Chains A and B, each alone.
Chain A
Amino acid sequence: MNSTLLNNVVRFIALLLLQVFVMDEVNFMGYISPLVYLLFIVLYPVDNNRWSFLILSFLLGLIVDTFQDTGGAHAAASLTLAFVRPVLLKLVYGEGYLTKNLKILKSPLDRFSLLLVLGVLIHHLILYLLIYFNISQVLQVLQMTLFIGLSSIFMGVVLFVLFGWRNKS
Chain B
Amino acid sequence: MQQIINFLIKYRNLLLYLSLLLIALVFTVQSHSYHRNSFVHSTGNITGSFLSSRSGIYDYLNLKEENDKLRKENAMLRMKALVTADTLLGDETTFLFSEDVPYRVFPSRVIKNDYSKRDNFITLDIGIDQGIEPDMGVVTTNGILGIIDISSNRFSRVISILNSEISLNAQIKGSNVIGSLTWDGNDPYMMSLVDVPRLAKVTKGDTIVTGRQSTTFPPDILIGTIRDAQLVENGSRYKIDVALFNDMTDIGTAYVIKSRDVKPLQIIDTLTTNVNE
Q: Give the interface of A toward B (CB within 8 A).
A: 20-21, 25, 30-31, 50-51, 54-55, 58, 61-62, 65-73, 75-76, 79-80, 83, 130-134, 137, 140, 144
B180 at the interface (CB under 8 A from A): no
In the complex, the answer to whether A71 meets B16 with C-beta atoms within 8 Å is no
Q: How large is the interface on B (under 10, 10 to 19, 20 to 34, 35 or more residues)?
A: 35 or more
B16 contacts across to A, CB distance below 8 A: 50-51, 54-55
Q: How far is the CA of A18 from the CA of B197 in the complex (A)?
A: 51
In the complex, the answer to whether A72 meets B17 with C-beta atoms within 8 Å is no
In the complex, the answer to whether B118 meets A133 with C-beta atoms within 8 Å is yes
Query: Which of B40-48, B67-75, B225-233, B256-264 is found at the contact surface with chain A?
Result: B40-48
In the complex, the answer to whether A71 meets B54 with C-beta atoms within 8 Å is no
A137 contacts across to B, CB distance below 8 A: 118, 185
Cross-chain pairs A/B with CB under 8 angstroms, 26 sampled: A20-B51, A21-B54, A21-B57, A25-B54, A51-B12, A51-B16, A58-B24, A62-B24, A69-B42, A71-B28, A71-B29, A71-B30, A71-B40, A72-B24, A72-B25, A72-B27, A72-B28, A75-B20, A76-B21, A79-B21, A80-B17, A130-B25, A132-B117, A133-B119, A137-B118, A140-B185
Knowing that A54-B16, A65-B40, A72-B25 are A-B contacts, what are 16 other residue pairs whose CB atoms are under 8 Å apart, sorted by A's residue number? A20-B51, A66-B40, A67-B47, A68-B42, A69-B31, A69-B42, A70-B40, A71-B30, A72-B28, A75-B24, A79-B17, A80-B21, A130-B28, A133-B28, A134-B164, A140-B185
In the complex, the answer to whether B185 meets A62 with C-beta atoms within 8 Å is no
Q: How far is the CA of A67 from the CA of B51 in the complex (A)?
A: 8
Q: How far is the CA of A62 from the CA of B16 in the complex (A)?
A: 16
Q: Which residue of A lies closest to B42 (CB)?
A: A69
Q: Give the interface of B toward A (CB within 8 A).
A: 12-13, 16-17, 20-21, 23-32, 38, 40-42, 44, 47, 50-51, 54, 57-58, 112, 114-119, 121, 123, 157, 164, 185-186, 249
Q: Which residue of B lies closest to A128 (CB)?
A: B117
B116 contacts across to A, CB distance below 8 A: 30-31, 144
Q: How far is the CA of A139 from the CA of B181 in the complex (A)?
A: 24
B42 contacts across to A, CB distance below 8 A: 66-69
